[in-house]
Amino acid sequence: MKRLFTCAFIFIGGLSLLLGCTKNGAIPVPNNTMSAQIGTIQFNSTGNDVKVWTAANLLDTLKTAFFISATMDVGSNVLSYVQIVILDYDNTNPVGTYSVSSSEAIGVYNAGLSGEDFFIDGSVVITESGSIISGTFHGTTQSGIIISNGTFSVEF
């Protein structure tokens, strides 16, 4: 049941990305960045292609979820994206490590046409908070793709 809610939660987040959901309805800050080594591909996304927002956690309405989603054009009008979510985001003290295997964080990679590939392990580490939130992430997806050296920096 928890897996079903988690998948629904990611689906809603991905739908928000596709529909252009942005922080407080504002235009995304162009200084946002996300990068990672995804298998043999270097993923880089900047500016308007990196979105950040919070939403109510569907698993626990007393908590807030924090989303960072980035897209990259991989040619032929196809977008690849990476999305990381911290399910229990505390904006008063978010610095810390959030584990995928213990359901503190969720990661999703979509290579474009192949569908969503969820992280089965890994972590998201927030190293700086305030008006700029920075950190790192890594993981392995269900299909075995290794995502390493992930970094992000977003204004929030």
Write down the pTM of the prediction.
0.78
Q: Look at the chain and count its residues.
A: 156
DSSP 2-14: HHHHHHHHHHHHH
Residue 137: predicted pLDDT? 98
Q: Hey, what are 139's tokens?
A: 């993981």
Contact predicate 9/106, CB 8 Å: yes
**Number of Cβ within a 10 Å radius of residue 107:** 26
Residue 123: predicted pLDDT? 98
Lowest-pLDDT choice from 15-29, 60-74, 99-113: 15-29
pLDDT at 142 over 50: yes
Q: How many CA atoms lie within 13 A of 104 on its CB side?
A: 14
Contact predicate 43/31, CB 8 Å: no
Which tens digit of pLDDT belongs to each residue from 89-134? 887 888 999 999 999 999 999 988 778 999 999 999 999 988 899 9
Confidence tier at 71 by pLDDT (50, 70, 90)? very high
